[in-house]
Amino acid sequence: AGMHSDYLEVRGLSVEFDGFKAVSNVDLTLFQGDLRFLIGPNGAGKTTMIDAITGLVPATGSVQKSGVELLGKKVHQIARLGVGRTFQTASVFEELSVLQNLDIAAGAGRSVWTMLRRRPAEVSESIEQALETIGLSKLRNKPAGTLAHGQKQWLEIGMLLVQNASVLLLDEPVAGMSQEEREETGNLLRRIGGERTVVVVEHDMDFMRNFATSVTVLARGAILAEGSVAEVQADPAVQEAYLGT
């Protein structure tokens, strides 16, 4: 960390399920501060790619974070190296408050001894900052189960922030959100981008158009196109891939 620029380098990433190649020889390089949209028709391999990077499914090839190989490491080791992800269905502790969810996330991966010795002021400062960033400061004492769908997604992102994830892989964060929630999420992504690397699996082209950023199109497990939103939208191969589903 510090002065060194973070990067995520995916090389020749492949995932097979019983001989079926869900992800096929994918290369992708992302630098600190990059916001990258990952799109593609259903079944293209987007979620499997995130699963492979975060250690949920076995894969071949190479995934390096700032020179450290992630493939072969366990889920919690990869999380500790600063690679965090969200799921399509937000996984928060419904009975616990927003604050308690963040507190648990902040302690995740640490030993009990470290958690007992941690300086409370230090922790709550980063949690305070995360609450601000995700816009849930005023709802901190609400049980997470009572939050709106969008707010749960933001809480999940907040949980990654307090874990100090520098690479965030967000699986369809705006799916099922209202227009207002989408706009809020756009602002949230702009707030957390810049210093972190963010990959967003997305379907909504209108949502993406508001970002001056590049898009990677996945189809049948392989990269089909890369470019600006306008470029990939105009690409006949991309149009065909979407029509084929």
Would you tell me which residues interact with ligand ADP (CB under 6 A)? Answer: 17, 22, 40, 42-48
Q: Reduced to 3 states, what is the DSSP secondary structure of residue 109?
A: coil
Query: Residue 239's closest CA among 222, 219, 223, 213?
Result: 219
Instruction: Please report how close the Cβ of residue 139 comes to ligand ADP at its closest, in angstroms.
Output: 30
Q: Which residues are CB-contacts of 121 (< 8 A; sequence separation ≥ 6)?
A: none
* Nearest to ligand ADP of 27, 183 (CB atom): 27
Write the DSSP string, 33-45.
Answer: T-EEEEE-STTSS
Q: Are 31 and 6 in contact (CB under 8 A)?
A: yes
C-alpha triplet 40, 29, 90: angle, nearest 5°: 50
Instruction: Please report how close the Cβ of residue 168 comes to ligand ADP at its closest, in angstroms.
Output: 17
* Nearest to ligand ADP of 44, 147 (CB atom): 44
Instruction: Please report how close the Cβ of residue 51 comes to ligand ADP at its closest, in angstroms.
Output: 7
* Nearest to ligand ADP of 56, 104 (CB atom): 56
Instruction: Please report how close the Cβ of residue 38 comes to ligand ADP at its closest, in angstroms.
Output: 9
Residue with tokens 């889920």, as numbered in its chain: 75
Q: Are 149 and 176 in contact (CB under 8 A)?
A: yes
Instruction: Please report how close the Cβ of residue 217 comes to ligand ADP at its closest, in angstroms.
Output: 11
* Nearest to ligand ADP of 17, 31 (CB atom): 17
* Nearest to ligand ADP of 57, 104 (CB atom): 57
* Nearest to ligand ADP of 39, 130 (CB atom): 39
**20-31 and 83-85 strand pairing:** unpaired
Cβ atoms within 10 A of the Cβ of 188, count? 20
* Surface-to-core class of residue 142, CB atoms within 10 Å of its CB (0-12 exposed, 13-18 middle, 19+ buried): middle
* Nearest to ligand ADP of 158, 221 (CB atom): 221
Instruction: Please report how close the Cβ of residue 80 comes to ligand ADP at its closest, in angstroms.
Output: 24
Instruction: Please report how close the Cβ of residue 173 comes to ligand ADP at its closest, in angstroms.
Output: 14
Query: Which residue type sits at 25?
Result: N
